[in-house]
Chain A
Amino acid sequence: MALLHTTGILLGKELRTELRSRELITTTLVFILLVVVLFSFTFDPTSSESRRFGPGLLWIAFLFAASLMLQPCFLREQMNDTLSALRMSTPDPFAIFLAKLAANTIFLLLTELLMLPIFSVLYNVPILKVFPSLLLVLLAGSAGIGVTGTAVAAISAQARMRELLLPLLLLPLLTPVLIASTEATAALLAEEPALRLDWVGFLAAFDIVFLTALWLFGEYLLEE
């Protein structure tokens, strides 16, 4: 309970600072919008083509946008050394990670939800009927990106080549999430939509494994 209470306080701080600056959401949204629109103009896909490669395109856009979003999450704490203040005030450092990954997942999910209608219109893929299932896939996939990305952001923030290191570490690690999320989304956007619980289960397992690793080793990632 103490962990959740502390996480709640820190999550409130993350949301409040982002709502005031709107740096992360704006950057991510613009990036995803650019990718989706540019691909739409370049290939001018038919509905059946969109069903085939649309999910992959969508998740690659989400993944690259997430790497942009994740970069500042620990760098911002270094600017005024607020990470030290948090470490000294928070009894369990895992709460710092939980709050950051929850915030990252929420921001990513929000941009994905804002992008879905645009994707649906540009690529002529109806999503309304499968929206609840699609939301589940987006949540599981975004949580995977959030958990792994927050851990990698903490590692890369202390490195010299931090801008390069984050995508270099993150993208290979997230390959399983990309494959599972794309497969689950493709099944939902097919002519006969189906919720692939095997892929959703895989995503949930991935999230749990990385969350456990973060719980076990997170404190070392925050040390100077």
Chain B
Amino acid sequence: MTAAVSPLGLRCSNLEKRFGNFVALRRLNLEVHPGEAVALAGHNGSGKTTFLRLAAGLTRPTAGALHIGQGESTAAESRAHIGFVAHQTMLYDELSAEENLFLFANLQGIPGAAERVSALLAEVGLAERRTSLVRTFSRGMRQRLTIARALLHRPSLLLFDEPGTGLDAPGIIWLAATLGHLRDTGCTIVMSLHGQAELAAVATRAIRLQAGAVAADSASGEPIEAVLRVTES
């Protein structure tokens, strides 16, 4: 799906995000090393989505800083290297699968866009529906196309918010294989998960967030399964 890339890490110091009186992230200090595949776990409202949107540069922190890569690049400055999958599909329902991918490929100035779009559509199993409007797709098909859109520009940092949403069992297995391949080619992956053992198996590290702070981190010696299992209970 993608050639080897230059790994890109991220680090945040005292990162805080408030929505009015609600503190979504509280003084978060975290470093994701280049090439790591991090599974973010935590109950609803624990701050996973907020963290991913901050890392994607889509929202500004209330306090603290988040840097991408080795230097002092902000998330907004590093968008060209980030592949982002959100809760919503981030696709246009009135455009076909192919048109959606071409739109974003052209905006990002991807060379050989036609070949890249064709290859990705085949990879996600939508080659036969390439001219169908997205509004005619099932949720699982939309999610496959969403993942294809996020991978269009061969990003070196993947921020996936519950990427298994809407996928059936074969879809989850396909996604786990894809993420595993991306991890092996050097992509840094940060993904929020709710269960889905197949996707968790891709992770080289797990972090559990609770009330906007790190409650457990497998980097400190706790097994990945244990960090994720606590959340499920």
Cα of A91 to Cα of B91 in the assembled complex, Å: 19
- Chain A residues lying within 8 Å of B84, measured Cβ to Cβ, are 84-85, 88
Q: Known contacts being A16-B95, A21-B94, is A9 close to B86, with CB within 8 Å?
A: no
Cα of A17 to Cα of B58 in the assembled complex, Å: 24
Please pick, from B53, B57, B92, B107, the residue contacting A89 in the complex, using a CB distance under 8 A.
Answer: B107
Q: Known contacts being A88-B56, A224-B58, A224-B59, is A81 close to B86, with CB within 8 Å?
A: yes
A49 near B: Cβ within 8 Å?
Answer: no
**Is B82 in contact with A13, judged by CB distance below 8 angstroms?**
no
B103 near A: Cβ within 8 Å?
Answer: yes
Q: Known contacts being A90-B107, A223-B59, is A84 close to B94, with CB within 8 Å?
A: no
Cα of A6 to Cα of B57 in the assembled complex, Å: 20
Q: Known contacts being A16-B99, A224-B59, is A84 close to B107, with CB within 8 Å?
A: no
- Chain B residues lying within 8 Å of A16, measured Cβ to Cβ, are 94-95, 99
Cα of A6 to Cα of B106 in the assembled complex, Å: 8
**Is A82 in contact with B107, judged by CB distance below 8 angstroms?**
no
B43 near A: Cβ within 8 Å?
Answer: no
B33 near A: Cβ within 8 Å?
Answer: no
Cα of A85 to Cα of B85 in the assembled complex, Å: 9
**Is A17 in contact with B90, judged by CB distance below 8 angstroms?**
no
A103 near B: Cβ within 8 Å?
Answer: no
- Chain B residues lying within 8 Å of A224, measured Cβ to Cβ, are 53, 58-59
Q: Give B93's nearest chain A residue, CB to CB.
A: A80
Main secondary structure of the interface of B (DSSP, over half): loop
Cα of A161 to Cα of B214 in the assembled complex, Å: 36
- Chain B residues lying within 8 Å of A80, measured Cβ to Cβ, are 88-93
- Chain B residues lying within 8 Å of A85, measured Cβ to Cβ, are 84, 90-91, 104, 149
How many residues belonging to B are interface residues under a CB distance threshold of 8 Å?
28
- Chain B residues lying within 8 Å of A87, measured Cβ to Cβ, are 58, 79
Q: How far is the CB of A22 from chain B (nearest CB, A)?
A: 10
Q: Give B152's nearest chain A residue, CB to CB.
A: A89
Q: How far is the CB of A73 from chain B (nearest CB, A)?
A: 14
**Is A84 in contact with B90, judged by CB distance below 8 angstroms?**
yes
Cα of A81 to Cα of B165 in the assembled complex, Å: 15
Cα of A80 to Cα of B91 in the assembled complex, Å: 6
Q: Give B90's nearest chain A residue, CB to CB.
A: A85
Cα of A89 to Cα of B57 in the assembled complex, Å: 12
Please pick, from A6, A20, A79, the residue contacting B107 in the complex, using a CB distance under 8 A.
Answer: A6
A186 near B: Cβ within 8 Å?
Answer: no
User: Which residues, 1 to 39 on A, are CB-close (under 8 Å) to B?
Assistant: 6, 9-10, 13, 16-17, 20-21
Q: Known contacts being A85-B149, A88-B82, is A223 close to B89, with CB within 8 Å?
A: no
Please pick, from A9, A10, A13, A81, the residue contacting B95 in the complex, using a CB distance under 8 A.
Answer: A13
B11 near A: Cβ within 8 Å?
Answer: no
Q: How far is the CB of B93 from chain A (nearest CB, A)?
A: 7
- Chain A residues lying within 8 Å of B87, measured Cβ to Cβ, are 81
**Is A81 in contact with B88, judged by CB distance below 8 angstroms?**
yes
**Is B107 in contact with A17, judged by CB distance below 8 angstroms?**
no
- Chain A residues lying within 8 Å of B88, measured Cβ to Cβ, are 79-81
Given contacts A81-B88, A87-B79, 20 further A-B contacts (CB under 8 A): A6-B107, A9-B106, A9-B107, A10-B107, A13-B103, A20-B94, A80-B91, A81-B87, A81-B90, A82-B92, A84-B86, A84-B90, A85-B91, A87-B58, A88-B57, A89-B107, A89-B108, A90-B107, A224-B58, A224-B59
